[in-house]
Amino acid sequence: MSLLPDLSRALGVDLEGLLAGDLGENERTGGNMKHLKFFVCPQCGNILTASADTSLSCCGKKLTALTPYKAEEKLNVELIENDYFVSSGHPMEKDHYISFVALLTGDALVLRRQYPEWDLQTRLPRLGHGKLVWYCSQHGLFYQLV
C-alpha cells in the first residue's frame, strides 16, 4: 500500500484511477471554453474546472461536474466602457451566496470569486459574446448568454 502513491506518480495517474484500474486517456475535445465543466467542493468551497471528462477529488471526496441550468432570474449585466458590470440583489449571507461569477467565450475564461460578506458587484472584460455562469451555494450552477 505504501508504494501506491509513488506508482501513481510514476504512471502519471491519480491514485483513484490506479485503484480502479482506469488508466485510459480522455478523448481530445475541440476545447471550446463555453463547454467548460465546473466542480465545487462542498467541504472547502474549492472551485475546479475541466475542459474534458475528468475525475477530480477534493477534501477526500470525489467531485461530480455541476449541471448548469438556464437562469430564470438573471444577473444584471450593464456595459460600462469595455467591461460587463455584473450585479445582483441575490442574498450574500454565510449560508446562501453566489461564490463565483465566470464569463466563458469560445477561447477564454474570466472567473471572479465572490464572498458572502460582499454585495455581488464585479466587472468582467467584454470579450465578445459568451456565457455568464455563476454558482449559488444553495441552488447550484446557472448560466445566461451575454
Give per-residue pLDDT as tens, 74-113: 999 999 999 999 999 999 999 999 999 999 998 999 999 9
**pLDDT at site 113:** 96
Q: Are 51 and 19 in a shared domain?
A: no
In the predicted model, is pLDDT for residue 40 greater than 90? yes
C-alpha–C-alpha distance, residues 7 and 92, integer Å = 44
**Residues 68, 111 within the same domain:** yes
Residues 103/109, Cβ–Cβ less than 8 Å: yes
Number of structural domains (the chain) is 2
C-alpha cell at 71: 437562469
Do residues 16 and 79 share a domain?
Answer: no
Residues 8 and 36 in one domain: no
Model pLDDT, residue 87: 97
pTM: 0.81
Residue 113 domain boundaries: 31-145
φ and ψ of 49, to 5 deg: -130, 160
Say if strands 56-58 and 61-63 run parallel, antiparallel, or are unpaired.
antiparallel
Same domain, 21 and 92: no
Q: Dihedral through CA 138, CA 47, CA 54, CA 139, nearest 10? A: 10
pLDDT at 53: 83
- Dist. CA 56–CA 45, nearest whole Å: 14
